[in-house]
Structure 1
Amino acid sequence: MNKKTQLIEACLEHVNKRISSYKDEIETIKDAIENNDKSSDEADDPGNGKLLNDLEKNSLYLNDAYKMMDTLKLINPKLSHDYVALGSLVTTNTTNFFMAISLGKVDIDGTSYFVISKSSPIGEQLLHKTTGDSISFNHTSYSITDIK
């Protein structure tokens, strides 16, 4: 299995866990709202305001997780570009990047990769660069040595 496939699988595992967690949380909140409604008088504030706010937040998080899943589905691990694009494995003089979703550091076979979104600050700088190009981010200079 190639590195891109392994990185995509790590991303999918992370996103699937998030989706499952948000779905569970939404169900818990819905149950709490239902139980509050049944056990309260009209004069009492059942506290549903905070629960509804939590429900809305978790629904937004779930939607974001689904968007991440959609982004991952666009990546073909067998495809390679001459420039940095979605799905690119970018090797620099100091760091390895995988252009996919905002996930952070992932270790594969003893090598660290920073899984980043193309809309992240460093992702925006790397996007469309080619081998030999350099960027500067957070007072660090990155020189692209390879793109797969």
Structure 2
Amino acid sequence: MTTKEHLYTMCEEYVESRIQRILKSLKSIEEDMENEGKSSAGDKYETSREMMSEEWNKLSNQLKEFKQQKDTLKLAKNREGSKLAQLGCLVKTSASNYFISIPAGKMELDQEVFYAVGANSPVARLLMGKTEGEEFEFNGIKNKILSVE
């Protein structure tokens, strides 16, 4: 498996673990709401129910975001290889290594550090469309692109 394939797998695992955690929390809230309805009455019931409803909505929005990230990851995985930095590319620079895919953060593989970043992140926007050997400035520091895979 190539480095890029390993990073895809790590990103897929990251997204899937987040989705499963949210689904588990939603199920727990659903059970709590059912139990609350059977045993409570009055203002306390309404306040508790409203809090659970707010949490449900928050988790539902997070679930939607992670499902979108899952779709973005599939799109990145199916992109043809390119010499231009774009979605799905692994870009090694003089400062760091970036995997332009989803915002999954720092990943370590074979004693090397990679940062999985979304295509709309500040650093990805600076890298997009650039090729090996080009320079860019990030956080006031000049960097050079060493390779684009």
- TM-score (normalised: structure 2): 0.92
The 8 Å contact of residues 5 and 77 in structure 1, kept in 2 or not, is answered as: no
Q: Give structure 1 regions of 4+ aligned residues with deviation exceeding 3 angstroms.
A: 76-79
The 8 Å contact of residues 4 and 77 in structure 1, kept in 2 or not, is answered as: no
Task: Give the fraction of aligned pairs with identical amino acids, expressed as a percent.
Answer: 29
Q: How many residues align?
A: 147
User: What's the counterpart of residue 45 of structure 1?
Assistant: 44
User: What's the counterpart of residue 12 of structure 1?
Assistant: 12
Amino acid at match of 1:14: Y
The 8 Å contact of residues 134 and 142 in structure 1, kept in 2 or not, is answered as: yes
The alpha-carbon deviation at position 24 of structure 1 amounts to: 0.2
The alpha-carbon deviation at position 134 of structure 1 amounts to: 1.9
Q: Does residue 120 of structure 1 match 2:144?
A: no
Superposed, which structure 2 residues align to 1:89-108 within 5 Å? 89-108=90-109
Q: 1:78 to 1:120 in 2, by over 3 A?
A: closer
User: What's the counterpart of residue 147 of structure 1?
Assistant: 148
User: What's the counterpart of residue 23 of structure 1?
Assistant: 23
The alpha-carbon deviation at position 80 of structure 1 amounts to: 1.7
Unaligned runs of 5+ in 1: none
- TM-score (normalised: structure 1): 0.93
The alpha-carbon deviation at position 44 of structure 1 amounts to: 3.2
User: What's the counterpart of residue 3 of structure 2?
Assistant: 3
Amino acid at match of 2:44: D
The 8 Å contact of residues 80 and 88 in structure 1, kept in 2 or not, is answered as: yes
User: What's the counterpart of residue 134 of structure 1?
Assistant: 135
Query: What CA RMSD, in Å, does the superposition of the two structures yield over aligned residues?
Result: 1.4
User: What's the counterpart of residue 74 of structure 1?
Assistant: 75
